[in-house]
Amino acid sequence: MLNSAGCAIEFASVPERVVSLVPSLTESMFDLGMGQWLVGITDYCVHPAPNVKHLPRVGGTKTALLERILQLNPDFVLASQEENPHRLIEDLHESGITVWITFPKSVRDCLSDLWLLARIFHNEVAVKKLQVLERSVEWAQLSREDYQPVRYFCPLWQETTHKNQLYWITFNKYTYIHDVLSLLGGENIFAERTRTNSIPADLGLVLDEARYFDDRYPCVTPVEVRNLEPEVIILPSEPYPFAESDRTRVCELLNNVPAGQNGRVYLVEGSLITWPGTRLAKALDQLADLFSRKTVC
């Protein structure tokens, strides 16, 4: 079994039958000119739409079926430590299939994963495209050096307790999404926050903590957000599908913080900041003014 931070991946020849259990890597394979080797993907692999339309599906990222994957006779499976069940990965490994387990926590990790794919498939086109992406990242870094970062809050999920109390799940500095938003000029108000042993310990409430076990994703309340006074609030469309009604509610709840007062509560295409892969290029292009744009609640 292999992972992006561990052993090197070596193939005697280019893998010819690849199953991707990671939507961001499915898109990246096509973007880098290596999509022809994909023989199976998940239900959530939706980009690029014309290319993935007719590929066999093996289930969701967390519900992929071992039998369907084995029927495709892959020689290489792309997996994610965050997105795919550990038991499925173990079963694939025991079946003799080479599994690459990715776990990017930063933009640099993301780029390293893409470079590894280019090497595995001996793809010179991918190399050229990644060189351009590297320069784009360097340019973004240089362009932020003379600017003060903008303090932001970005929830990934929201729920209410049995007493109808709203809370959000956000992220700290050890995540890819944090690093992307930092590259764009943002300063995460919960960068140093680490979730404690349980959700009840975070909020003083008895909730279902099984869904959120990663301590990089703390639970926070509107009061905590209010006290930290973010200048910008970002509501991504995934994993929770924040919509206009949610933006209106947030504007009302947090109307006394700078983001609410200045109308800087934004709905954002979630995959731009949550998908580590070639979508990074789209994020740098489409969200370049995220921390300078002005809107009104």
Tell me what pLDDT residue 204 has.
53
Tell me what pLDDT residue 9 has.
66
Considering only CA atoms, give the Rg of the chain: 20
Lowest mean pLDDT among 149-153, 198-202, 270-274: 198-202
Residue located via tokens 């009061």: 223
- Total domains in the chain come to 2
> pTM for this one?
0.90
* 4 found inside a domain: no
CATH of the domain at 282: 3.40.50.1980
Q: What is the mean pLDDT of the chain?
A: 90
Same domain, 60 and 157: no
Tell me what pLDDT residue 123 has.
93
User: Alpha-carbon distance 172 to 216, whole Å?
Assistant: 6
Range of the domain at 158: 150-286
Question: Span 43-50, mean pLDDT?
Answer: 96
Which ranges of the chain does DSSP label H, i.e. alpha helix? 23-31, 49-52, 66-71, 86-94, 107-120, 124-144, 176-183, 199-203, 222-228, 244-253, 258-261, 271-274, 279-286
Contact 14, 120 (CB under 8 A): yes
Same domain, 217 and 107: no
CA dihedral 288, 290, 292, 297 (to 10 degrees): 150
Interval 168-221: pLDDT, tens: 999 999 999 999 999 999 999 999 998 765 555 555 554 444 444 688 999 999
Same domain, 97 and 189: no
* 7 found inside a domain: no
Interval 62-105: pLDDT, tens: 999 999 999 999 999 999 999 999 999 999 999 999 999 999 99
